Structure 1
Amino acid sequence: AGHPALLRLGGLLHDVSKPETAKRQGGRLRFFGHEAKGAERSAGILERLRFSREETDWVSTWVLHHLRPGNLAAAGAVSDKAVYRFFLDLGPKGVSQLLVCWADHASYLAPKDVERALPAAVQEPGRPMPRWAKGDAAKTIHHMRVVAWLLDRWFRAPEASRPELLLDGRDVMKALKIKPGPRVGELLRSLEEAQAVGKVRSRKDALAWVSRQPPPPPGQA
């Protein structure tokens, strides 16, 4: 599913539904919902071309989420929670999706400017822009920084993108004196996020965190 040809196909199809969603609003051409419609259209195209279900799922997922890193960039600082939730939703697909996204943003610059921008584009978001980067160039470099930062978190900081749980269900049930049920799973998911954002760093921290959580309502497992 990570084959370069499939990535190129994802890049080709990521804006496939812009024509059918185009609307002029406030003097600008907008494409609301093109990512969702594009995911459906991409899946149909790949099915007709006899791609496998896995390949179809990967490409349609890239198309559906291709705006997400840009939306994170537009929101300003990328929080630890945002990094965690991005990879929680996308998992390994998020890595290759970020490559498609990088190519998308890099295409806004001329090739010579992409080469010029690379040193700044791989720095952590929030660093000062190079003096020459203004307007659209600065925006594009910021978006590329966010993409690079998300990739960095996946490869260099797995504890931030997909932490290994410090406790299991038995630990949670013992700490809260509760029986198996949905609440155990809810707490484990919340604990994973607490680890990802740095609120919980050790097994001792995890047990203390669990002990502060409310048990399920009476009568519910």
Structure 2
Amino acid sequence: MKRLSGKVALITGGNSGIGQATAELFAAEGAQVIVTARRPDVLERAIGDIGHGAIGIQGDVADPAHHALVVAEIRARFGKLDIYMANAGIITVAPSATVTPEQFDAQFNVNARGVFFGVQAVVPLISDGGSIILTSSLAATKALDGHAVYAGSKAAVEAFARHWALELRARKVRVNVLSPGPVDTGIVQKLGVAEADRPAFLKTMTDAIPAGRLGESEELAQAALYLASDDSRYVNGARLHVDGGMSVS
């Protein structure tokens, strides 16, 4: 039997990378998948790739009104939500001395504010015994050059998860954190590394990973499936590192 049969799953940032790979896997495992993204063109493409009757809703996770609209649509169409993966995120790599207020606000608005108000919106709809998965980052617990603001926004997410695991215990809603290391996704392409410098940059990263390579989106999707399914029914308030061992190197 498919592990998510009969489940309704919502994934923010489900249009690329980890989010889309997870959406594709959840759909293949029997879930009704809803994904959100800011750009309608990439959202439409992702829905075609995900298949299995997946639904896309365009909007900005930094806007609480967007979450209210998403919840209203899911309630009207399905009457419930079983799995929520707050995955949308952005990064701007810069030393602290050069960070602008606009760069700071953009990262915290999506990575922290978007997660907080997304969970706040879905909690009344999510089923008792449901699963909430928050995508964090290795950067939240390991200092990396130029990642101070991004790391702060992801550390906030991990603090949210600990509190929510306690706040939702009466309803048996589990709240866990998925913590990727470097993954070869579109977000890596946006780090500002010149194409000529990319080989050296990737070598520096892979040399710091005991597994000797970057992760793949599909590997993170498998970890998310574990957290979403009954396989992890006794896992709550946990941070799952999926980083090839980089967190201990």
Larger strand fraction of residues: 2
Structure with bigger RCO (C-alpha 8 Å, 6+ apart): 2
Larger helix fraction of residues: 1
TM-score normalised over the length of structure 2: 0.27
Between structure 1 and structure 2, the one with the greater Rg is: 1
